Chain A
Amino acid sequence: MSNFKDTFELYDWDSLEKEIYTFSATDVQTVLSKEKITLDDFKVLISPAAKPFIEQMAQRSNALTKKRFGNTIQMYIPMYLSNECQNICTYCGFSMTNKIRRKTLSDAEILKEVEHIKKLGYDHILLVTGEANRTVGVSYLKNAIKLIREHFSNISIEVQPLDQEDYESLIKEGLYAVLVYQETYHKATYKTHHPKGKKSNFEYRLDTPDRLGKSGIHKIGIGALFGLEDWRVDSFYTAVHLKYLQKNYWKTKYSISFPRLRPHEGEVQPKVEMTDSDLVQLICAYRILDEDVELSMSTRENSNFRNNIINLGITSISAESKTNPGGYAVEPQSLEQFEISDERSTEEIKQMIKSQGYEVVWKDWDKSYTELI
């Protein structure tokens, strides 16, 4: 079976970057006149030349999203299980060298957090950890999924990359989706930002979605962390990755997230700025490329931006998120992985979504489907 690495190596970062910055308004008009667009067309839509066409792209993105997803927005909430980490990631609050108090939730603490989260109404949950394979390895994750399974219809994780058989064993426990972001597809920059720990292995991370696809997972979330490198080139690689995965693992659903670097405890501040208008352009371009991919927005973004993004192609959002283990009920005051920008309550977000004519969806999966595997 193939691996994404082979496809990845067909592209050269510098030539892509050069190409993306040389498109003209005529190129954009040609692409926008097409009904279906290709990866080459996508390059044009994320180029600076497409910026004047952002309203046209937004209208199209809105219509395509409504056709496929209807007037609905899916709600999810992250639950941080641990901030222990043996990686150095220059931009992350959990990075090994940061002097913060480390915490991994016990069974009782997990259930206390769950109790709080359930009161807010959530039925889709995302479990997040750092990378500490000895204390927060596969058996810890397996136990956590077992503990919370009866409380949620849909369980996702965002943890260290694992081997195929590990994913298979977690799926058996009721795991629905795995989110794993490449951070950047620029190999040299990746090395600079991940100098130590298992995460420094670029290739192992790059092939993680392949291992997930082979494990038969229901959904894979991919994306780049914006701020490390040119967002346009990173997003093009993400799109290539998406199309590769869809072809090879056709029974799996895909989602894309758009994390922009936020201030935190680490040292590195964004090298490349991605403006609000850039992010809107990118979201619309992804939607025009692919009608079916889920596009997800976290509380990293501020209230005003999130209010407006509902109409532009986003299909799922979180609210009231805490990015510290125990942040909901166990230790609400501890240090977060990154600062969240939108601190409104779940109820406020729900009202905001409804007021724009969308139904808030809490449940769109049945746990009995996952348990059957």
Chain B
Amino acid sequence: MVKSKKEQELLLGTLDMLVLQTLVLGPAHGHTIAHVIEQRSDEVLQIEQGSLYPALHRLEDRGWVSSYWGVSENNRKARFYRLTAAGRKQLTVEANRWQSMVKAIGSVMQNVTRTAEQK
């Protein structure tokens, strides 16, 4: 349960990015966002749905998303989130950072695989 602060930050940052990415397609409510992330990752990313809400709260606080009450496809009242201009910009920043990190990790891991193969 208890994670180090750094680890949490990394995960949170990632979750923020995923949420923002989901909203590029259009406004959605929390439940949809959670399912979209899971489905698009072929059920690999099993997020604890509860942790979505603090993330949404934070994103809204920073002005990256805005929210309004609407009606869900199942005819329930739900809070919908929409990407703001600032959120779009932030998504670019995060996506770039993510890309470079993946690249960096990738090249490290490549070396590892190569070393492993040589053995």
> Does A pair with B?
no
Q: Which residues of B contact A (CB under 8 A)?
A: none
